[in-house]
Amino acid sequence: LQTRLQAGQGYGNTLSCALTVYRHESVAGFFKGMSFPLASIAVYSSVVFGVFSNTQRLLSHFRHGDPAQAPVLADVALASIVAGFISVGIGTPVDLVKIRLQMQTQPYIEANIKLKPTVSGFPVYRGPIHCFRTVLQKEGIAGIYRGVGAMLLRDVPGYCLYFIPYTFFCSWLNPDGCISPSPSSIWLAGGAAGAISWVTATPMDVVKSRLQADGVNLNKYKGTLDCILQSYRNEGLKVFFRGVTVNAVRGFPTSSAMFLGYELSLKAMKRDQNETNP
């Protein structure tokens, strides 16, 4: 729904988009392009959280001489920025394949023909591997990383507004410190941080989605700035908040699960390490 609302035309609000997708593509339409993200999400999340955690430990080591020292706000912000940069290298090709598969049967604007919310034409790509290979052959590495500028502008500040609120909410929910927060605190803090991050990242998420969907049938945008200007000129400021409801709703449970898994895994590994080395 998020991709259709942001990069498609004629869907109206979230409910209208859901009904249109179901009417024309049945339940399968809601799961288009999901195989590639599902196959890569474990690696992606491991790298992002690993980079964030290890950068924090490294900064604490240099600042305090103790990697286990609780990080200050500046350390959390810097670790978030590093994690954001690294995430773009992995996430851009994955998002591009997902969006191309989701948008390939969508109608498009040519000249001044008005877009209608009907599925037309035949699929351009047979699956995620075929999509990746086709884009690589026709557009090269630049094609695989199409939208990388918009993704950097989304993920670098987005991860700052992901990890910093999480740290703050953990401290608030656990006045004695966030060294070992309870599962309920992790769930609430992670969910709130995810919702904040995704809502604030929505404008650049719209731009990224449009850039990556561009090229299935024609090329409309020359780059990030051109996409911003064209979108604003044609649809006004409200276009940059398309899909904000979907982002907010999905941001809470996904981030809750992500942080809970992360914190519980750390606790389990520390416990095993202590048992092995008493």
Domain at 218, CATH number: 1.50.40.10
Same domain, yes or no, for 93 and 158? no
How far is residue 90's CA from residue 148's CA, in Å, rounded to a whole number?
11
* 1 assigned to some structural domain: no
Same domain, yes or no, for 109 and 196? no
Higher pLDDT, 30 or 205: 205
How far is residue 91's CA from residue 251's CA, in Å, rounded to a whole number?
17
pLDDT recorded at residue 120: 45
* 201 assigned to some structural domain: yes
How far is residue 45's CA from residue 87's CA, in Å, rounded to a whole number?
9
Is 50 exceeded by the pLDDT of residue 118? no
Least confident segment among 16-25, 139-148, 188-197: 16-25
The stretch 211-226 carries a mean pLDDT of: 82
CA distances, 219 to each of 118, 226, 231 (Å): 20, 12, 14
* 195 assigned to some structural domain: yes
Residue at which a domain ends, from 113, 144, 175: 144
* 3 assigned to some structural domain: no
Same domain, yes or no, for 210 and 103? no
Residue at which a domain ends, from 120, 144, 168: 144
Q: What is the pLDDT of residues 1-58, one digit of tens each?
A: 666 777 666 666 677 777 777 777 777 667 666 766 777 788 888 899 999 999 998 9
Same domain, yes or no, for 162 and 56? no
* 15 assigned to some structural domain: no
Q: What is the pLDDT of residues 59-71, one digit of tens each?
A: 988 887 777 777 7
Same domain, yes or no, for 107 and 200? no
pLDDT class for 122, splitting at 50, 70, 90?
Answer: low
* 244 assigned to some structural domain: yes
Same domain, yes or no, for 133 and 235? no
- The two tokens of residue 156 are 């670098």
Q: What are phi and psi of 276, to 5 degrees?
A: -75, -40
Residue at which a domain ends, from 101, 116, 144: 144
Please say whether the beta carbons of 8 and 103 come within 8 A: yes
How far is residue 12's CA from residue 7's CA, in Å, rounded to a whole number?
12
What is the extent of the structural domain holding 154?
Answer: 146-277
Tally of domains in the chain: 2
Same domain, yes or no, for 85 and 203? no
